[in-house]
C-alpha cells in the first residue's frame, strides 16, 4: 500500500496516480549538440529530444528509437544523466540521457509529424544562449536568437552539463 493514492468519496474505490516514463536526450556529434523544436514552442526555443517509453522497453532502447524516429540518426553511445518529475500536463518521470551519434552519421531527417525543426548547434551558439536573460526581439535578419528551456527544466541542465563538459575538455587539451 505504499505510494500516493486517492479514494473516491462516492464509492470508496482507491485510485493510484500513474507516472509515465519519458526519455529526454541531448544528442551530440562531439563538437555540436542537436536541438529541436515543436511548433507549440515559443518562437526561437529549442530543446532536447523527448518521447515516452513504450511498454517493456528499456531506457536505452527508448532513446535509440526516439532519436531514430524524430531525426533519423543512429545513436552510438549513451549514458544516463539525471531524472526529474514533470507534473505537467500529465505526471511524467523525465529520464535524461546524453547520446553520441555514430561518427560520420550526422545528417538530420526531421520527422515533420513530431517536430517543426531540428539543427546542430556549436558550443559557442549554445553557451551564448545559456547566458541570455529575458526575451529578445528578432534580429535585423528576421531570425530569432537561439532560446533554451528555462532553468527549472531538465533539458536546461542537460545543455549546461554538455557546455561545461566541452569547456573542461578544451582546457585539458
Residue 165 lies in a domain: yes
Domain, as residue range, for 34: 17-131+146-172
- Count of the separate structural domains present in the chain: 1
Residue 11 lies in a domain: no
Residue 5 lies in a domain: no
* CA–CA separation, 51 and 90 (whole Å): 13
Residue 122's Cβ-side half-sphere holds a number of Cα atoms within 13 Å equal to: 3
Look up the pTM and report it: 0.85
Helices and strands (H and E) in the chain: how many: 3, 8
Residue 26 lies in a domain: yes
Each residue's pLDDT tens digit, 36-46: 999 999 999 99
Each residue's pLDDT tens digit, 114-127: 999 999 999 999 99
* CA–CA separation, 95 and 154 (whole Å): 9
Looking at residue 65, which CATH number applies to its domain?
A: 3.90.79.10
At what angle are helices 123-131 and 154-172 packed, to 10 degrees?
130
- Quick check: helix, strand or coil at residue 107? coil
Residue 103 lies in a domain: yes
Residue 123 lies in a domain: yes
Amino acid at each position: 500500500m505504499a505510494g500516493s493514492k486517492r479514494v473516491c468519496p462516492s464509492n470508496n474505490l482507491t485510485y493510484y496516480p500513474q507516472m509515465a516514463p519519458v526519455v529526454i536526450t541531448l544528442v551530440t556529434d562531439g563538437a555540436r549538440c542537436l536541438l529541436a523544436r515543436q511548433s507549440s514552442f515559443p518562437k526561437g526555443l529549442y530543446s532536447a529530444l523527448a518521447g515516452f517509453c513504450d511498454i517493456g522497453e528499456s531506457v536505452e532502447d527508448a532513446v535509440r528509437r526516439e532519436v531514430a524516429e524524430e531525426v533519423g540518426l543512429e545513436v552510438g553511445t549513451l549514458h544516463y544523466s539525471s531524472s526529474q518529475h514533470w507534473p505537467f500536463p500529465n505526471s511524467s518521470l523525465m529520464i535524461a540521457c546524453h547520446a553520441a551519434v555514430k561518427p560520420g552519421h550526422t545528417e538530420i531527417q526531421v520527422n515533420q509529424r513530431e517536430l517543426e525543426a531540428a539543427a546542430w548547434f556549436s558550443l559557442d551558439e549554445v553557451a551564448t544562449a545559456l547566458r541570455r536573460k529575458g526575451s529578445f526581439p528578432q534580429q535585423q535578419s528576421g531570425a530569432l536568437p537561439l532560446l533554451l528551456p528555462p532553468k527549472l527544466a531538465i533539458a536546461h541542465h542537460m545543455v549546461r552539463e554538455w557546455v561545461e563538459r566541452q569547456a573542461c575538455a578544451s582546457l585539458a587539451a
